[in-house]
């Protein structure tokens, strides 16, 4: 999993480090100071002392990289450029699931794309690449700023139709071309999202054996985040593409969770605007007289070791970091016998604050050589630090699973899902379980030592559950290889992805604050825009009212004014799944539902930015009341959409044009409504959401 590239290590780099400043330029011509909170590097040795006569062949050091957390959970660090590469091959037209009879996979993809469009900031740029066996230029765009173009983007997505075979290379190459040709690309991070449910039907092979340098160079220009839907896609191809790219990930959405594609995109999308560091580069140097750096555990990140004039060295290239992210790496040293203290190694780290810039910023890291005590006898040996053992175990399991997937024919034969024989699947699951038990034996002993000192190796139990899930899926032929690939991706790049659904996140990882916030936005979106209604007409409208949320407000202690923009006019109906979001009314004018929902969502985001930690209890009460009121208004608008949509479809057979049947259904909440059980609830009227008062 480590790169063979070692020529980047040099003891005579051409850079200037100014006294009192914390940045440098490779060219030597630019030296500036950084005022922002910096990335932090911490180092933890497996032991503080080693007997002087001992030749220690594997002395481990944990390198921990921590990005500063965003001040607010919705705070943005940068405007981004995103290219969505959408598979519209024939298979995308299949029914999404037995319970979604009127919804195809492409419908769900369109719905997820609408979420992306609504969540992008006005300063962000979006490009859409539609492909099957080739790029469909009539459904493909260049970059456009999302401000003022959301309806255009939705129109482009809404017109997509499933047809043809699938070939990944044309779409990926076109996406990179769009990113490369944008003006000012050095100041804006670029990302590629590849969404597909099928297998590459072209002759292109996506693996190490068939990878030429041209395709490798194309992939490594930008992060490619791949998403595989259902059981028919090729997870190994999508993992390989993500792994070869500059920090990409692979996310799995199981067949039974296809209606949650939006969640998978939300977790990925949440990290983009919070990027706080680019081209993160960690360097390690050792003292030749005391020991050597023998290897680095870096997962899917590029790393290597090399000999230098005065010792050995190494590097880890991390790429970009999101606000609040933590990365862990293990250095392995060979310590030679020594009679005193060993000045073993030094570590430094640098990064850029803008993509493609020339100025690097030094991270906060321990300066100078790190020493190891070398007494004749270690009188009171300390127990190994728990955090070091956890990461050593995680990397060992990562290597074990990756090796099984890549190198063991017996294991690969059992990963053919339903097509593989039951005997092969049983053999593969048994092999994986056996490898895990062998590895776990040593760590069970270590765990007992740690527990006696008051700690506990919790990560082992989380890994136990995930290995168990792999074994079960392999036995049942239930997307076993896809789950394994998603697990490898998450742990290889140490970044959360979906391993079947948004509830399946790797044990050793956690969502960053911005990912959590985006996942909450996804929940809001999916509750406001359901996949499909079980019935139509009066039943559908009745099912939408009353809402499940109890709409009432405590009496506020202070007033707040919020101004809402009036909906813009547009003649077309926009449909996501089977839910009408815009439709013509009886008077011939257009009701733009998505604009109203977007306006309410904007108010929700602004309210969430209000400090939740404030000591002003009155302000906090108003904030919570306002959020509840906005939810009420959104439900009201959705209700009106359903009612009017049903009315338009239910005409009297003898009526003239424009005269509509009035179905019997509950009256809309045009009058002030309060919760029936709350006598103190303050009434509010949301019939005209242009402005409201509290």
pLDDT tens by residue, 120-133: 999 999 999 999 99
- Number of residues written out for the chain: 694
CA-to-CA distance for 559 and 481, rounded, in angstroms?
56
Higher pLDDT, 563 or 141: 141
* pLDDT value at residue 390: 87
CA-to-CA distance for 557 and 554, rounded, in angstroms?
9
Q: Give pLDDT tens digits for 129-175.
A: 999 999 999 999 999 999 989 999 999 999 999 999 999 999 999 99
**What is the H or E stretch that residue 595 is in?**
helix 593-609
Task: Give the pLDDT mean for 83-112.
Answer: 88
Higher pLDDT, 336 or 280: 280
* pLDDT value at residue 82: 96
Percent pLDDT > 90 in the chain is 36
* pLDDT value at residue 349: 94
* pLDDT value at residue 679: 40
* pLDDT value at residue 99: 64
Q: Give pLDDT tens digits for 488-507.
A: 999 999 999 999 888 888 87
* pLDDT value at residue 567: 38
pLDDT band at 510 (very low <50, low <70, confident <90, very high): confident
CA-to-CA distance for 312 and 334, rounded, in angstroms?
11
* pLDDT value at residue 206: 81
The beta-strand segments (E) located in 134-201 are 144-145, 190-196
Higher pLDDT, 646 or 651: 646
pLDDT band at 415 (very low <50, low <70, confident <90, very high): low
CA-to-CA distance for 252 and 258, rounded, in angstroms?
10
pLDDT band at 617 (very low <50, low <70, confident <90, very high): low
**What is the H or E stretch that residue 350 is in?**
strand 341-352
Q: Give pLDDT tens digits for 312-362.
A: 889 999 989 999 999 999 999 998 887 677 788 899 999 998 887 788 999
Sign of the four-CA dihedral 618, 619, 624, 628 = positive
pLDDT band at 656 (very low <50, low <70, confident <90, very high): very low
Q: Which residues pair with 236 in a beta bridge?
A: none
**3-state secondary structure (DSSP) of residue 468:** helix
Instruction: Copy the structure tokens of residue 332.
Output: 């392995």
* pLDDT value at residue 216: 83
CA-to-CA distance for 290 and 333, rounded, in angstroms?
10
Instruction: Copy the structure tokens of residue 464.
Output: 């136990």
Query: Is residue 534 pLDDT above 90, yes or no?
Result: no
**3-state secondary structure (DSSP) of residue 13:** coil
Kindly report which listed range (201-210, 235-244, 247-256, 570-579) carries the lowest average pLDDT score: 570-579
Is residue 263 a contact partner of residue 229, using CB atoms and an 8 Å limit?
A: no
* pLDDT value at residue 639: 62
pLDDT band at 26 (very low <50, low <70, confident <90, very high): very low
Q: Mean of the per-residue pLDDT values for the chain?
A: 75
CA-to-CA distance for 581 and 137, rounded, in angstroms?
27
* pLDDT value at residue 32: 38
pTM higher than 0.85 for the full model?
A: no
Task: Give the pLDDT mean for 68-84.
Answer: 74
């Amino acid at each position: 999993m480590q790169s063979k590239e070692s020529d980047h290590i040099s003891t005579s780099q051409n850079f200037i480090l100014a006294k009192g400043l914390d940045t440098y330029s490779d060219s030597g011509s630019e030296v500036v100071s950084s005022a922002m909170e910096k990335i932090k590097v911490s180092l933890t040795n497996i032991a503080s002392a080693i007997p002087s006569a001992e030749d220690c062949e594997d002395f481990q050091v944990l390198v921990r990289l921590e990005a500063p957390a965003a001040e607010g959970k919705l705070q943005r660090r940068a405007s981004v450029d995103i290219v969505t590469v959408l598979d519209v091959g024939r298979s995308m037209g299949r029914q999404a699931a037995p319970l979604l009879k009127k919804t195809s996979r492409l419908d769900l993809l369109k719905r997820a794309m609408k979420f992306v469009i609504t969540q992008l900031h006005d300063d962000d740029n979006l490009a859409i690449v539609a492909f099957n066996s080739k790029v469909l230029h009539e459904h493909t765009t260049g970059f456009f700023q999302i401000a003022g173009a959301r309806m255009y983007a939705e129109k482009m997505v809404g017109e997509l139709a499933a047809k043809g075979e699938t070939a990944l290379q044309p779409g990926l190459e076109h996406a990179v071309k769009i990113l490369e040709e944008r003006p000012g690309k050095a100041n804006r991070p670029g990302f590629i999202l590849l969404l597909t449910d099928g297998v590459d039907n072209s002759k292109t092979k996506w693996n190490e054996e068939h990878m030429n340098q041209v395709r490798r160079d194309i992939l490594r220009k930008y992060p490619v985040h791949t998403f595989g839907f259902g059981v028919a896609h090729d997870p190994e191809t999508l993992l390989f593409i993500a792994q070869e790219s500059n920090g990409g990930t692979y996310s799995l959405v199981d067949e039974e969770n296809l209606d949650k594609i939006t969640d998978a995109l939300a977790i990925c999308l949440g990290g983009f605007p919070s990027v706080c560091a680019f081209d993160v580069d960690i360097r390690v140097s050792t003292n030749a007289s005391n020991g050597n750096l023998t290897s680095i555990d870096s997962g899917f990140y590029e790393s290597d070791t090399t000999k230098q004039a005065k010792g050995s060295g190494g590097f880890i290239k991390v790429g970009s970091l999101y606000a609040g992210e933590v990365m862990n790496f293990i250095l392995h040293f060979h310590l030679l016998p020594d009679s005193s203290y060993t000045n073993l190694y030094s570590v430094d780290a640098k990064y850029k604050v803008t993509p493609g810039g020339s100025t690097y910023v030094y991270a906060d890291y321990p300066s100078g050589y790190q020493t190891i005590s070398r007494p004749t006898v270690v009188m009171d040996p300390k127990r190994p630090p728990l955090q070091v053992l956890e990461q050593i175990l995680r990397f060992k399991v990562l290597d074990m699973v990756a090796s099984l997937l890549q190198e063991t024919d017996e294991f690969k034969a059992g990963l053919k899902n339903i097509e593989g024989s039951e005997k092969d699947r049983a053999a593969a699951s048994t092999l994986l379980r056996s490898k895990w038990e062998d590895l776990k034996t040593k760590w069970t002993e270590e765990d007992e030592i740690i527990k006696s000192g008051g700690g506990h190796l919790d990560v082992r139990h989380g890994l136990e559950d995930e290995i168990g899930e792999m074994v079960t899926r392999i036995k049942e032929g239930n997307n076993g290889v896809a789950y394994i690939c998603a697990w490898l991706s998450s742990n290889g790049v140490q970044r959360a992805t979906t391993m079947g659904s948004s509830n399946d996140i790797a044990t050793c990882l956690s969502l960053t604050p911005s990912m959590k916030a985006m996942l909450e936005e996804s929940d809001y979106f999916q509750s406001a825009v359901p996949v499909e209604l079980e019935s139509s007409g009066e039943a559908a409208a009745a099912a939408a009212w009353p809402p499940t949320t109890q709409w009432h407000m405590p009496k506020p202690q202070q007033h707040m004014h919020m101004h809402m923009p009036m909906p813009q006019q547009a003649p077309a109906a926009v449909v996501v799944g089977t839910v009408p979001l815009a439709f013509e009314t009886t008077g011939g004018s257009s009701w733009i539902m998505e604009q109203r929902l977007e306006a309410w969502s904007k108010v929700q985001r602004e309210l969430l930015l209000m400090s939740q930690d404030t000591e002003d209890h009155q302000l906090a009460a108003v904030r919570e009341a306002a959020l509840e009121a906005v939810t009420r208004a959104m439900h009201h608008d959705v209700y009106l959409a359903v009612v009017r949509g049903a009315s338009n479809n239910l005409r009297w057979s003898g009526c003239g044009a424009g005269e509509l049947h009035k179905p019997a259904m509950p009256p809309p909440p045009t009058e002030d409504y309060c919760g029936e059980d709350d006598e103190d609830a303050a009434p509010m009227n949301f019939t005209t959401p242009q402005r409201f008062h509290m």
